[in-house]
Amino acid sequence: MAPKAIILGDFNIHFDNTRDSQVADFLKLMMVLDWVLKDGMATHGAGHTLDGIFTRPEEALYLSTTPLEWTDHALLTFKFLAKQQPIISIPQKKLIRPWRKIVVEPLKATLLHNWNDPKVSMLSPLARFNLGIKQAMDTLAPARISASRIRKKLKQPWFSQALKILQRKYRQKERCWKLNPCDAERVDLKLALNTYKEPCRVAKSDYFTCKISEAANSSRELFRTVNALTTPLGSPKVENSQDFCNKVAKFFECKVLDIYSSFRLEKKLASPSPWLTVHLHPKDPTAGAPTVPLTASDLFLDKGEEAQNEVVVEDIMCLTRFY
- Three-state DSSP at 228 gives helix
pLDDT of residue 196: 92
Q: Is residue 101 part of a domain?
A: yes
Confidence of residue 91 (pLDDT cuts 50, 70, 90): low
51 within domain boundaries: yes
Q: Give the per-residue pLDDT at 195.
A: 92
**172 within domain boundaries:** yes
162 contact partners, CB below 8 Å, separation of at least 6: 199
257 & 317 share domain: yes
Report the mean per-residue pLDDT for the chain: 71
Peptide bond into 57 cis (omega under 30): yes
pLDDT in tens, 261-311: 777 655 554 554 444 444 444 444 444 444 444 444 444 444 444 444 444
* Same domain membership, residue 311 and residue 258: yes
Same-domain pairing of 264 and 306 = yes
Q: How far is CA 122 from the centre of its chain?
A: 68
Tens of pLDDT, residue by residue over 51-69, are 777 776 655 566 677 777 7
Which pLDDT band holds residue 88 (cuts at 50, 70, 90)? Answer: low
pLDDT score recorded for residue 199: 92
The C-alpha atoms of residue 305 and residue 285 are separated, in whole angstroms, by 15
> What is the distance between the alpha carbons of residues 260 and 231, in angstroms, rounded to a whole number?
33
Q: Global pTM?
A: 0.29
How confident is the model over 225-245, as pLDDT tens digits? 877 777 655 555 656 667 777
Q: Is residue 308 part of a domain?
A: yes
What is the rounded average pLDDT of the residues 160-184? 90
CA dihedral 102→106→111→114, nearest 10 degrees, is -110
| Per-residue confidence (pLDDT) for residue 308, from 0 to 100 | 42
Let me know: does 139 contact 160? Beta carbons within 8 Å.
Answer: no
Under the banding of pLDDT at 50, 70 and 90, the label for residue 322 is very low
DSSP class of residue 271 equals S
Domain of 17 in residue numbering reads as 5-79
Pick the more confident residue, 110 or 42: 110
What pLDDT does 198 receive? 92
My answer on whether 141 and 171 are in the same domain is no
Structure confidence at residue 3 as a pLDDT band (50, 70, 90): low
- Overall average pLDDT of the 99-119 stretch: 80
- Residues 254, 295, single domain; the answer is yes
In a domain, 228, yes or no: no
Q: How many domains does the chain have?
A: 4
Based on the fold, state whether residues 73 and 46 are members of the same structural domain. yes
Whether 300 maps to a domain, the answer reads yes
The larger pLDDT score, comparing residue 39 to residue 292, is at: 39
Phi then psi for residue 196, to 5 deg, are -85, -40
Residue at 136 is within a domain: yes
Is there a domain that residue 86 lies in? no
Across 9-23, 36-50, 195-209, 240-254, the highest mean pLDDT is recorded for: 195-209
In this model, does residue 214 exceed pLDDT 60? yes
CA distance 9 to 265: 40
Which residue would you say has higher pLDDT here, 242 or 109? 109
Same domain, 63 and 97: no
